[in-house]
Structure 1
Amino acid sequence: MSEELKEPKNRAPLPNFSHLVYDLFEKLDTCVKSPHIPESLRSRKTKIIEQFVQKWRFEIGDNIYPASRLIFPNLDKRHYNIKDFTLIKFILDIFQVPKDSEDTKILRNWKGKYENRMRSNKNDLAQLLTGVIKARRGAVLDRPEISIDRLNELLDTMTRPETKPSDQKKILTEIFNHVDNIELKWFLRILLKRKLMGGMDFTFFRQWHPDAVELLQLVNDLKTVFWELTDRLIPLPEAGRVIRVGRAFRPQLAMRPNRTYDQIATLFDNNFYIEDKLDGERILMHISLNDTTQQHEFKYFSRSGTDYTYLYGSNYEEGAFSPFIKGCFIDLKDDTKEIRSMVLDGEFLVYDNKRNVILPFGALKSASLTRLMEEKNDSEDSQETQVYFVVYDLVFLNGTSFQDKALKVRRNLLNKILANPIPNRIEVIKYTEGHVGSDIEAAMRSAIHDNREGIVVKNPKSKYYIASRNLNWVKIKPEYLEEFGENIDLIILGKRKGLKNAYICGLRESLGNDRYRFLSLARIANGFTGQMYEEIEHSLGSKWVNIRKTQPPYPYIDLGEISSMVDYWVDPKESVVLEIKARSIDIGDGGKRYAAGTTLYNAYCVRIRSDKDFLSCSTFADYKEIKTSKSRHKTEKTHSLMSKRKRTIVTEPILAKQSVSSKSSIFKDYIFYVLSDMLGEKRYSIAQLEALLVENGGRITKNDCVALADGERLVLLSDKITFKVTEYFNKGLNVFRPGFILKCLQLKTIIPLQINDILLADESLIEKVKKNSDRFGDSYTSPIDRKELRMLMKGIPKIKLEHPLKFPLLYNLFKGLKFYIARPCYRSPFLTNVMSPYLLEVIVILGGFLTTDIFQCSFIIVDTSTTFNYSWLTEEATIQDEVGSLRKKLGDDLPIVKGVLDKVPRIVEKEWVFKCIQEGTIVAADGYNYIG
C-alpha cells in the first residue's frame, strides 16, 4: 500500500540538535512584542523561519525531513510508548530524587496543582522537569553534543515494541548526558509530543515550499511532503494533487447553515438527498490488493489523520473489524477488473446486539479494544457489541480519483461494489430523495422521534471537496434548549490570574483594507484540563504583556469595561483560538461591560483550535447573526406555539389554583382590606388576592372603619408603602404583606407571624413576632421559600474564613433551568418522592425548577439505574416506555419557528446532573444522552 519515495541527498552531514534549539526554537520563543520595534511580531517570526530554511538549504541541502521529525513532534508518526507519569518516574530514578522531597511531591501531583504552578511560571511539564534536573546537575558546560541523526536513531529505538522500560531509561540517560539545560527542555517537549512552533507550523511549511501545506493536507505525512517538495521553484504536479491510497487526508465536512428548510431546498434546486447524521467516528477506509498474496490490505484513518489500522485490522485475519467483512465487496463486472485500490468514506459506530441500538460515540474504542483482546485470547466473541461501518461515499477506485465525479455517480457505483452488505457490520447509508422544505421537516421530526443525531442534506450533483466545509453538504441537528447552537471560536485577548485562571476571549471585527480590531466577549474559566492550560501557556508564555505596565493598543484591542479585571493581554495575531460552548447570550448589565455589548452565559472551553488563528476565528458579524437569530427565535416562539397547541392562559399561580379548589374556611374570622398587588416572582393583582380570600372564608372591605363582629379582625395587606398605607399606619393599624396569606393557604392553617410578613407594625408587635424566630429571623415553626431564604441570608453577617473556599458555592448552578423528570407513563404527584428523591432535591436546592410540560422544560432527566414496576396502579411500565412516548410527542408536536423546528429539550441520564455539580458549571450534555 506504500508508495516508493526517493530520498533527496544532502551536501553536508546533518547538524547537531543544538542547531535546531538555538537557531529556531529559542529564537521563536524569545521573540516578543516590543513597542520599540515597528515590525509586527508575526513578521519577525516569519523572518526567523525564512532565515533558518535558507541556511539549511545553503549549508546542508534539500533533505530537511530528519529535522522535521523533531521540529513537528505533533505530526511525527512515532509513538514513544512513554506517558507523562512514566517519564516522571524515569527522571526521579535517573537523578535519584528522594521520595519524600518537595520536587517528588510536585511532580507526582503536577496535573492537580496546575493553577498553583502557574504562579511560579512553571508553564509546562517539560519546564518543570528541566527545573528539577537542573537543580541536581547544575549547568552543563562541557559535554559531547548529540546530532540530529543520533537523536532520531535513539527515538526510533524507543518506539520498538521489544524495547523494555529499562532500555528506555538507558536511552534517556544517554540523551541527558549530551544536552545542556536549554536543549533538555526542548527535547522533553519533543518526547511529550508538544507543539513547538507556537502557531507558526504552516508558515514553516510555506517557507520550505509554496505547495507544502496543500500536500500535507492530502497525505498527512512529513516524509512525503519534504521528500517530494525539495525545490521551491518546481510546483506540485497536478497528478500529485489527488488522493493517495494509504495516505491520510482530511475529508469533506458538512456545514450548518442559518437557513429555513425551504431555503435549504431552494439551495439544492429542490433536488437533494437526505441521510441520517450518525453519532460515530469519521473514518476513511483505504483498501489495496497485495500483488504477492492477492489479498486485500486495509488502512483506517480518522478525519484528523490518526491511524487506527492497529485497532481495526490490516487484513482479513486480524483486528476488531476487518475479519468480519470478507466477501462484502464484489468485482466490477462491467469491465471484469478486480478491486485493486479503493478509498471509502464513512462512519464507525458501535452496535448493541442485545438492545438493537447504536451506542454513543464514546463506546467505540472500548468495544474495539474488547474485541481485539478476545481475538488475542482466543476467547468466544460475546457479540454483545460490534463495530459497524456505515459507508456514505466512494472517493477513489483502481487508480482513479472520484473527487470530481458527482455524488449521484459515486453513490451508484458504491452500491454496485458493496453489493453484499453485512447487516450491522458494513452497509451503505440509506437515503431518501427530497424536493421541498416539508421533506426536510418530516426527516427532522423522524430523527427526534428515533433519537438520532439529526440529518445531512446533500447535493447529488456536487463533487467531493477534500479538507473543505461547504454548502454542498448541510447538517441539520435538533436545536437544543439551553444551548447556544453552533459552538463559537474565540481568540484569547487577555488573562485574569487566580486560583482558577480565566481567559478573556473575543471576536474579530473587519474594518476593511485588511485592517481588524478585536472585541472582548466572554471570560472563560471552565472546561480546561491541565494539559490544555499547559498548551496555552506554552504558546503564549513569552507573549503576555502586563496590563499594569503597558495598556493594549486601542481600538485594535478593545477590552471594554472589563479591562479592570484583566492582568495580562496578548496580541491576537500571536494568540490561541478556543472553541467555546455556552448556554445562551447574556444581554444584561454584566454583558454590557464587554466590548461586544453582550457576553456568553455559562460559557466553557470545549477544545483548543490549533488549526485556527486570528484570521479564522469567529467574527463580530458572525456573532451578531447568531444573536439576531436567537432573539428572533425567542420572540416568535410564543406565536408559533399557539398554532400547534391550545395555549393555556394562566391567571393565577399553581398554589392559588390548588387553594381555591379546596374552598376552605381558614379566614372565616377575618376581614381583609387589600391595598396593593402582591409583588415578586409570582405576582397577584388585588382582584386575585380578594378572590382567594373570599373562597377561603374571608370577607373583603374597602373601608378601614368597617364594623367588626365579636371575634372578627381587620387585616390590612400591602407590598408597597404608599401614602394611604402610611396614613393607616399612623392611625394605629398594622399592615402585613400578602405573602403571609399564601403561606397560610399552603399549610391550611393560620401560622405564627414572622418579621418578613410585616410591612409596617408597632414596636410591641414586632417584639412579640421576633420570639417566633431565631436570631437571624428564621422561623421555628414555619417553612420558608427560596425568596425568604435569600432575604434572611442578606441579614446574616459575613464571616471571614480561615481557609477560603477554592470554588464558589453552587446555589444558582441550575438557576433559570426547568427540569422534567421522566417516570412511567402515568401522572401521579405523590410518586415524586418515590422516584429519585435525592435527585429532585439536588435540582431544586441548586436553583432548578421542576415542570410537567416537556415543551417548556430545559432538560428531561432519566434515572437509568432502576426499572420501575407500579403494577398495583397500572400495568407494568418502564422508563424506556416513558422516554419513547416523550420522544414521539416531541417529534409529532414540536412547532415550526421561523421556518425550522423549535428547540427541543435534551434527554439526559441523571449522571449529567452530578457531573455539572462536580465541575461547578453546566457541562456539555452530549456525552450523557439517554439512548434506551
Structure 2
Amino acid sequence: MDSDEVVPDPTHKVDENLDEKYPNRPHNHAPTFAFHELYLNLFNPLSEIKKKPPGLAPGRRKVGPQGKGAAGLNPYELRRDVIARFISRWRKDVGDDIYPAFRLILPDKDRDRPMYGMKEKIIGKMLVKIMKINKESEDGSNLLNWKLPGQSSTPMAGDFAGRCYDILSKRPLRTEPGDMTIDEVNEKLDKLSIASKEDQQTPILAEFYRRMNPDELTWLIRIILRQMKVGATERTFFNVWHPDAENLYSISSSLRRVCWELHDPNIRLEAEDRGITLMQCFQPQLAQFQMHSFDKMITRMRTTEDDPVFWIEEKMDGERIQLHMAPDNSVPGGRKFCFWSRKAKEYTYLYGNGIYDENGALTRHLEDAFADGVRSLILDGEMVTWDPEQDAPVPFGTLKTAALAEQRNPFSKGPRPLFRVFDILHLNGTDLTRYTLRDRRNALKKALRPVRRRFEIHPYEEATTAAEIETCLRKVVAEASEGLVLKNPRSPYRLNERHDDWMKVKPDYMTEFGESLDVVVIGGYYGQGHRGGNLSSFLCGLRVDDSHSSQGAEPEKCWSFCKVGGGFTASDYQEIRHHTEGKWKKWDPKKPPTNFIELAGGGAQHERPDMWIKPSDSVVVCVKAASVATSDQFRMGLTLRFPRFKKLRKDKNWKTALSIQEFLDLKSNAEQEHQDKKFDVDNSRKKRVKRTAMRPLTIAGYDEKENAEYLGPSGHVFAHLNFFVMTEANAPEKKSKAELEQLVKANGGKIYQTNTAAPDIICIAERRTVKVASLQKSGDTNIVRPSWLMDCVKQNIKDAGLSDLILPFEPRHMFFTIEGRDEEISFNADRFGDSYARDTTVEELKETLEKMGHLKQESEHTLDCRTSKRIEALIQRKVDSGYTAPCGWLFRDLVLYFVTSNESSGEENGRWSPNLGLTLAQNTARFGAASLTTSLDNPGITHVIVDQDMASSLQVVSLRGSLATRPGKKLPHLVSSKWVEESWKNGTLLDEERFQVRR
C-alpha cells in the first residue's frame, strides 16, 4: 500500500433513519446553490482577506476589532461579514438546512462522511489519467511530483491544489463556472468516499472534471484533502450560524446536529442540552502547553494556601480514547459500548461493542470490570499497547496492530491494548463534568473494578512543590516515558478547551537529557507552503561499519536514523546547497539506491526521501535531541526525538561520521552512567503534606447518604468572552496579573497569552510595557483598564448575579482607544465621567464633583521615537521560509537574564546600561514571549545574555563562576545578545554553542 494512501473505514454506515432521529430537522424550500457560489462568494473572498488584510483605502480610517460602520472593519470582522452575507442569502433563497453547504465548507468537521482514501499522490495519478497527460511530460511530472520545484517557471511547489490549478487551467473542458449544485457535489462525494478502488474513484473524478472549471476543481480538491485554509476557523462559522453552535459541537462532534438542531438563532439550547450525552462523541479537554518555570505552572493552576495540592500523572504514549457504556436491553444484564478517538473517529469495531463481541479486542474482558449498580458511564483515558512479556508499554504506533492480533487470539501472550482511565464524566444518567476532578476521581474508584493489564485506573501522585515535579520527571525519563501531566484537583472538566487546569510537562524541554551526534545527510524532503521548492528537512543516517556489513568490508552505506528540519538558518541551507550542488538524485521507489542507503520496512521504504545523495558526496551535520526512542520507521530501529540542527561539520566526511557500532556504544555508556547517577533531593525543606480526605461524589441511587460539592465559577458575566491580560491592576485595588486572570476564569471567561490567539480578544492593561506599547502603536486594538473587569463583577453581584451584565466601556475604563471609537465610548458616561450603566462609588463621586469645576485632559506619554522605530524594524522582519510557528511564541518557554555592563563590572545592580543593542535584544525576547528575570538566583533561568562587545574577559570568568556555584540549580547557557537577534531573524531557536561568550 502506498505510504500516503488512506484506507477508508469499512465499518462506516450511513444512518437511514434521519427523520426519526431528527424529527424537527429543517427542510429547504428551494434547491441548493450552484457549487460555484461557494468559491465565488465565500472561499475566494475569505482567501483574499487572508492573503492581504485590508489596507487604508483613500478616505478610510483603520479601526480595530470593535470598530463599526464607515470607519472600516478589521480582517476578523470582514471575514464574519462575508460569512454572514452567505448564510443570510442561504436562509432567504434556499432555507434553514445549511448542512449541505457546511459539509463542503468545513469538510474536516463532517464526521458522517468517511475518509476518501485519496491523498495528493493518488489524485495526481488520476488527473494525469483523466487529462491524458504523458507522465514524462513537464505537466505530468509536476503533478506526480508536486513537492518538487517545477521544471520551468511553474509556481506553487509544495501547494498541491495550486499546482493542480496551474495544470488544469491549461486544459479546461469548461472556462465558465459549472452547473453542479451543492447537493449534486455532496452526492458524488458520498459515492467517492464509499469507493475503495482507484478504478471506482476515477470515473467520479472524471465527471467533476467535465462539469467544473479549473477554479471549482481546485476547491473541490481542497475539500477532498480536507485542507481548506480559507483564513476562517470553524469557530467563526459556528458563531455566525448560532450562538450555541460551538458548544453543541464540543459535546457532540456532529456537524449535522449543529446544522439541524440549531437552525433558528433565536432558539437557544436548553440547560439540559448543554452537557455531554451518552453514546454521543464529545470534544475532550486538552492539556495546556508547558511553561518553562514549574513554579509558574503551579501558580497558573490556581493553587491556594488553603489547598495547595496539585496532582502529577504520567503522560502516556498512546491514543486518547473515550469509552461510552449503556445498558443493552436485548441481553439480560447486557451492556453496549462505543469507543471514539480525540478526533471523533469511532473505534468500536476494533475494541468491541459488547461483553460478548467476539471481535472486541477489549470489551470481552470487561464482564466484571464495573461495580454493582453501575448501569451507564462515560470514561476518558488513553489506550496504550502493553507487552506482557516485558510488562511494559510499547511505544506509540503499534496499537492497531496489537488490537487486531488480540481480536484473532484473545489469550495470546503478545502485545495487547490496555485502557488506562483517568476521568469519569457520566455515571448512571448524571453529567459529572461540572464536579471537581477530586470528586470525579473518587466516583471513578467506586465505579470500576480494574482488570490487570487490560482495563486500569491511571495512578497519580499528590504534590505541592516544584521539586516534586522534577523528581517525577527524572523518574519518567529513566523509564523512557512520554512525560507528565499536572492537574488541578479543584477544577471542573472543560470540553474542547486547552486550559491551565491541566498542563503537560515533557522531558524534551530538559536539555541535560539531550544527545549531540554527528550524522550523514543521505536524503532530502521538499517543503510545503513557504518552504515549497527547496529541500527543507533532511534524512540522516549512521555509517555502516564492519560489524554490520554483510560483505565483511566497510561499504559506502548508511542506515536511516532520523529526520532533521529545525534549527537551520537561511545561510545554513545555503551552505548545505553549496557543498552538495549537482549531487542530488531523485528517489526512484522502483530502483532504490540500496547499495548506499538502507531504509526500514523493506519494500515499504519507510521515510523515503524525495531526493537522495551518496554518503561520499554529502555533508556531516551535528544534531542534538531530547532523547533516543525506538522506532520501526528507521532502519536503526531507533531514532532521535525532536532533533535540531546544531552545526555543519566541515572538518568531517562520511568516513569519520558516527557509525552504527559507535552509536550503540555511546548509547550503552550513557544508559550505564544514567543508572549510576543518583538524583539527591533536598527533603529538609519539603513540608509533609497532609492528604485531605476526598469527599466522595454521590450519584442518585448510588449512595444516598452523601452529597457532592460543586466548586464551580462564581459567576458567568464573562462567559463566551476572550481576554489577554498584559499587566497587573493598581486601581481601584491592587491585583496581580495572575489574580486578574483568575477573576476572569472564575466568571466564565477564557484567558489567552497573545492578542491574536482567538477572535474578539479584549486586551487588559494599565501600564505601558513593551507589549502594550507595541499593541497601542498598531492602532487597531482597544486596551481596557482592569477596573472594567472589577466593575462588571461588582455590578453582577449587586444584581444578585441575575443579569450577567457586561458593562459598556466608559472613558475611565480605557487605557487606549482606537481611532473613531472615542465618541461612541464617551456616550456611556456624562461629561463629568458619571456612568449611565452602573452604580457609582463614593470615590468616583468625589472625582466627579471635582471635575465639575475644571475638566482637564491628560496627555499621553510617547515612546522615544528612535528606539521605537528600531524595535519596530526588528520585530517586523519576515521570518525565514522554514519557520511555521507564530513568531510571538519563539522564546515562549525560556527564562532570560540580561547582564548589564554595570553589573558585569561589579557595580551596584539596578541600573541598566544604555547600550541600545542589549535593549533591543531584551525587547525582542519580550515580543517572542520569553520570561525575563532580574534575579540571577531565579532557578528557572535558561539563558544568561551578555553583550560580548561590552564585557571583559575577567567579567565573563567571574560570571561563569557565579553561575557554576548556584546550588541545586540548572546551569544556564551563557550567550551573547546576537543569539536573540539571529534566532529572531531566522525564525527558529539556533544552537547556543554558536553564540557562546568565549572570553
TM range (shorter): 0.5 to 0.7
Does the CA contact (< 8 Å) of 2:100 and 2:183 recur in 1?
Answer: yes
Out of 27, 30, 37, the residue aligned to residue 9 of structure 1 is 27
Does the CA contact (< 8 Å) of 2:569 and 2:880 recur in 1?
Answer: no
1:399 aligns with 2:429: yes
Give the match for residue 269 of structure 1: 307
| Residues 834-877 of structure 1: CA deviation (Å, up to 9, x unaligned) | xxxxxxxxxxxxxxxxxxxxx99xxxxxxxxxxxxxxxxxxxxx
Secondary structure of 1:137's partner? coil
Give the match for residue 326 of structure 1: 366
**TM-score computed with the length of structure 2 as normaliser:** 0.50
- Structure 1 residue 28, shift from structure 2 partner: 2.0
- Structure 1 residue 65, shift from structure 2 partner: 0.6
Q: How far apart, in 1, do the equivalents of 2:493 and 2:893 lie? A: 35
Give the match for residue 99 of structure 1: 135
Q: How far apart, in 1, do the equivalents of 2:403 and 2:420 lie? A: 19
Give the match for residue 111 of structure 1: 147
Give the match for residue 316 of structure 2: 278
- Structure 1 residue 58, shift from structure 2 partner: 1.4
| Residues 284-333 of structure 1: CA deviation (Å, up to 9, x unaligned) | 22223343356433333333434444443444536674345331433534
Query: What code does the residue aligned with 1:286 have?
Result: H
1:74 aligns with 2:143: no
Q: How far apart, in 1, do the equivalents of 2:497 and 2:454 lie? A: 28
| Residues 101-137 of structure 1: CA deviation (Å, up to 9, x unaligned) | 01111222212449x9997246621121122222123
- Structure 1 residue 456, shift from structure 2 partner: 4.0
- Structure 1 residue 351, shift from structure 2 partner: 1.6
Query: What code does the residue aligned with 1:224 have?
Result: R
Q: How far apart, in 2, do the equivalents of 1:516 and 1:190 lie? A: 41
Does the CA contact (< 8 Å) of 2:874 and 2:924 recur in 1?
Answer: no
- Structure 1 residue 500, shift from structure 2 partner: 6.4
Give the match for residue 714 of structure 1: none
**TM-score computed with the length of structure 1 as normaliser:** 0.54
Does the CA contact (< 8 Å) of 1:484 and 1:585 recur in 2?
Answer: no
1:409 aligns with 2:439: yes
Q: How far apart, in 2, do the equivalents of 1:205 and 1:417 lie? A: 37
Secondary structure of 1:136's partner? coil
| Residues 441-468 of structure 1: CA deviation (Å, up to 9, x unaligned) | 6545544554444444444443322233
| Residues 691-717 of structure 1: CA deviation (Å, up to 9, x unaligned) | xxxxxxxxxxxxxxxxxxxxxxxxxxx
Q: How far apart, in 2, do the equivalents of 1:262 and 1:507 lie? A: 21
Does the CA contact (< 8 Å) of 1:562 and 1:594 recur in 2?
Answer: no
Does the CA contact (< 8 Å) of 1:559 and 1:595 recur in 2?
Answer: no
Name which one, 1 or 2, has greater alpha-carbon Rg: 1
Query: What code does the residue aligned with 2:385 have?
Result: V
- Structure 1 residue 387, shift from structure 2 partner: 1.7
Give the match for residue 125 of structure 1: 160
Give the match for residue 652 of structure 1: none
Out of 404, 412, 429, the residue aligned to residue 372 of structure 1 is 404
Does the CA contact (< 8 Å) of 2:319 and 2:341 recur in 1?
Answer: yes
Give the match for residue 384 of structure 2: 349
Out of 216, 227, 235, the residue aligned to residue 268 of structure 2 is 235
Does the CA contact (< 8 Å) of 1:585 and 1:627 recur in 2?
Answer: yes
Out of 178, 188, 210, the residue aligned to residue 243 of structure 2 is 210
Secondary structure of 2:324's partner? strand
Q: How far apart, in 2, do the equivalents of 1:560 and 1:496 lie? A: 24
Query: What code does the residue aligned with 2:319 have?
Result: E
1:424 aligns with 2:424: no
Note closer, same or farther for the CA distance 1:427–1:169 as it changes in structure 2 (3 Å cut): same
Note closer, same or farther for the CA distance 1:138–1:581 as it changes in structure 2 (3 Å cut): farther
Give the match for residue 298 of structure 1: 337
| Residues 219-248 of structure 1: CA deviation (Å, up to 9, x unaligned) | 221101111111111111111110122333
Does the CA contact (< 8 Å) of 1:282 and 1:303 recur in 2?
Answer: yes
Out of 14, 19, 24, the residue aligned to residue 42 of structure 2 is 24
Q: How far apart, in 2, do the equivalents of 1:354 and 1:371 lie? A: 16
Give the match for residue 170 of structure 2: 135
Does the CA contact (< 8 Å) of 1:262 and 1:438 recur in 2?
Answer: no
| Residues 610-639 of structure 1: CA deviation (Å, up to 9, x unaligned) | xxxxxxxxx84x82426779993377999x
| Residues 195-223 of structure 1: CA deviation (Å, up to 9, x unaligned) | 24313432221111111122222222110
| Residues 788-819 of structure 1: CA deviation (Å, up to 9, x unaligned) | xxxxxxxxxxxxxxxxxxxxxxxxxxxxxxxx
Note closer, same or farther for the CA distance 1:142–1:210 as it changes in structure 2 (3 Å cut): closer
Q: Number of paired residues? A: 582
Query: What code does the residue aligned with 1:19 have?
Result: E
1:176 aligns with 2:209: yes
| Residues 421-451 of structure 1: CA deviation (Å, up to 9, x unaligned) | 2222110122344567776565455445544
1:245 aligns with 2:278: yes
| Residues 489-533 of structure 1: CA deviation (Å, up to 9, x unaligned) | xxxxx98999468999x976968599884699xxxxxxxxxxxxx
Note closer, same or farther for the CA distance 1:48–1:311 as it changes in structure 2 (3 Å cut): same
Out of 873, 877, 885, the residue aligned to residue 560 of structure 1 is 873
Query: What code does the residue aligned with 2:337 have?
Result: F
Query: What code does the residue aligned with 1:632 have?
Result: N
Out of 124, 127, 130, the residue aligned to residue 88 of structure 1 is 124
1:43 aligns with 2:60: no
Q: Please list, as runs of the form range in 1=range in 2, the aligned pairs for 1:579-728 lying within 5 A after superposition.
A: 597=922, 620=927, 623-625=929-931, 632-633=938-939
Does the CA contact (< 8 Å) of 1:444 and 1:454 recur in 2?
Answer: yes
Query: What code does the residue aligned with 1:623 have?
Result: A
Does the CA contact (< 8 Å) of 1:280 and 1:349 recur in 2?
Answer: yes
Give the match for residue 707 of structure 1: none
Q: How far apart, in 2, do the equivalents of 1:560 and 1:518 lie? A: 15
Query: What code does the residue aligned with 1:351 have?
Result: W
- Structure 1 residue 72, shift from structure 2 partner: 0.6
Secondary structure of 2:243's partner? coil
Give the match for residue 185 of structure 2: 151
Q: How far apart, in 2, do the equivalents of 1:151 and 1:387 lie? A: 40
Query: What code does the residue aligned with 1:322 have?
Result: L
Q: How far apart, in 1, do the equivalents of 2:213 and 2:172 lie? A: 10
Q: Please list, as runs of the form range in 1=range in 2, the aligned pairs for 1:669-818 lying within 5 A after superposition.
A: none
Does the CA contact (< 8 Å) of 2:278 and 2:326 recur in 1?
Answer: yes
Q: How far apart, in 2, do the equivalents of 1:190 and 1:5 lie? A: 26
Secondary structure of 2:276's partner? coil
Does the CA contact (< 8 Å) of 1:519 and 1:596 recur in 2?
Answer: no
Give the match for residue 185 of structure 1: 218
Q: How far apart, in 1, do the equivalents of 2:383 and 2:97 lie? A: 38
Secondary structure of 2:323's partner? strand
Give the match for residue 493 of structure 2: 464
Does the CA contact (< 8 Å) of 1:49 and 1:207 recur in 2?
Answer: yes
Does the CA contact (< 8 Å) of 1:24 and 1:49 recur in 2?
Answer: yes
Q: Please list, as runs of the form range in 1=range in 2, the aligned pairs for 1:869-908 lying within 5 A after superposition.
A: 896-897=968-969, 902=970
Q: How far apart, in 2, do the equivalents of 1:466 and 1:623 lie? A: 27
Q: How far apart, in 2, do the equivalents of 1:180 and 1:269 lie? A: 64
Does the CA contact (< 8 Å) of 1:280 and 1:347 recur in 2?
Answer: yes
- Structure 1 residue 266, shift from structure 2 partner: 4.7
Q: How far apart, in 2, do the equivalents of 1:632 and 1:73 lie? A: 48
Give the match for residue 414 of structure 2: 384
Q: Percent identity?
A: 29
Give the match for residue 539 of structure 2: none
Q: How far apart, in 1, do the equivalents of 2:882 and 2:462 lie? A: 52
